[in-house]
Amino acid sequence: MPSRETVLITGAGGVGRLVIEDLRTHDVPVRVMVRRDDDRAAEFRRFGADVVLGDLTLPETVAAGLRDVGRMYFAMPVSRDHLLAATVVASVAKECGTLDALVGMSQMTVSQMTATSTSESHQQRLHWLAEQVLNWSGLPVIHIRPTSFLDNPLFTSAAAQSIKRDGTLALPFGAGRTSPVAVSDVARVAATVLRDPRGHIGNVYELTGPRTMDMEEMAESFSRALGRPITYADVPLEQWRAQVLAGLGLPQHIEEHIITMCRLHQENRYDRATDDVARLTGTPAQTIEQFVSDRKGLYVD
């Protein structure tokens, strides 16, 4: 049976929030580290979680968060501090010596990278290096590597703009194939492993949608979900950057990461599919049609 050890959750964003909900539903004790005591922190308390203030780049707050904790979910938003945070977490957790599982949220691009590869984004490089640090630490690590998220603005808000405008799925992906995965499916995997990590230590789980498809096929999935014709419009990358991405006002580090994701799609680097979601949770990953159908209001006026 799974133990009743407290789980420390960091990076309580889209995936993390759902992990917290799942663990509390199963009556697993949860501590959540947040940087601000705001409405989101209050929501976690309503779930029954213990909320502590902390910063993953500050060893003293990480040590306080890890006190009496048996398992940890390490994640953070896209940030230049990702490697620093991973190094702090690894060193403090090793010194504390209490963890029987550390689930690290990475990304699937890492599986194609080497120590000297240079075609990836700075954020992807940070994830690769963070995995090395966690592995070198000797901690009981489990790496989770999702591919691009279906919940990403590429497939939600950006796609909705062009669909509402002229019935096109306008993205700079060329003829590349992809298999995006829903945040909720990634959260189910993370929660499953955290509830009972036996047999998972040292493993890497690569999470995708149920199959790969090119953008014409993706547009067909959108069409079936929305009940209207949607066609794919392949937009030149720099044009899309100027007309769509620039208007979002994102930090340069994040914008560069998104542009690299688009370029890697063009190079067919996202043409990968696994059954890890179904194998680990017993429920298949959502299809694009299911995902879009559940969010029709986002894509139609």
Q: Residues 83-133: pLDDT tens digits?
A: 999 999 999 999 999 999 999 999 999 999 999 999 999 999 999 999 999
- Model confidence at 301, in pLDDT bands (50, 70, 90)? confident
B/e letters for 26-57, b = 16+ CB within 10 Å, e = fewer, are eebbbbbbbeeeeeebebbeeeebebbebbbb
Is the confidence at residue 13, as pLDDT, over 50?
A: yes
Is the confidence at residue 70, as pLDDT, over 60?
A: yes
Check if the beta carbon of residue 229 is closer than 8 Å to that of residue 243: no
279 vs 57: CA distance, rounded Å: 34
Is the confidence at residue 2, as pLDDT, over 90?
A: no
Check if the beta carbon of residue 47 is closer than 8 Å to that of residue 32: no
- Model confidence at 153, in pLDDT bands (50, 70, 90)? confident
**Structure tokens belonging to residue 61:** 């707050």
DSSP 37: -
Q: At what angle do helices 82-96 and 122-137 cross, to 10 degrees?
A: 10
B/e letters for 77-98, b = 16+ CB within 10 Å, e = fewer, are ebbeebbebbbbbbebbeeeee
CA quadruple 31, 73, 14, 283: dihedral positive or negative? negative
190 vs 178: CA distance, rounded Å: 22
**H/E element holding 183?**
helix 183-195
Backbone angles phi, psi at 269, to 5 degrees: -75, -10
Q: Which residues pair with 219 in a beta bridge?
A: none
Average pLDDT on 131-142 reads 98
161 vs 190: CA distance, rounded Å: 32
- CA–CA distances in Å: residue 169 to residues 172, 213, 233, 257: 10, 14, 6, 21
Provide the whole-model pTM.
Answer: 0.95
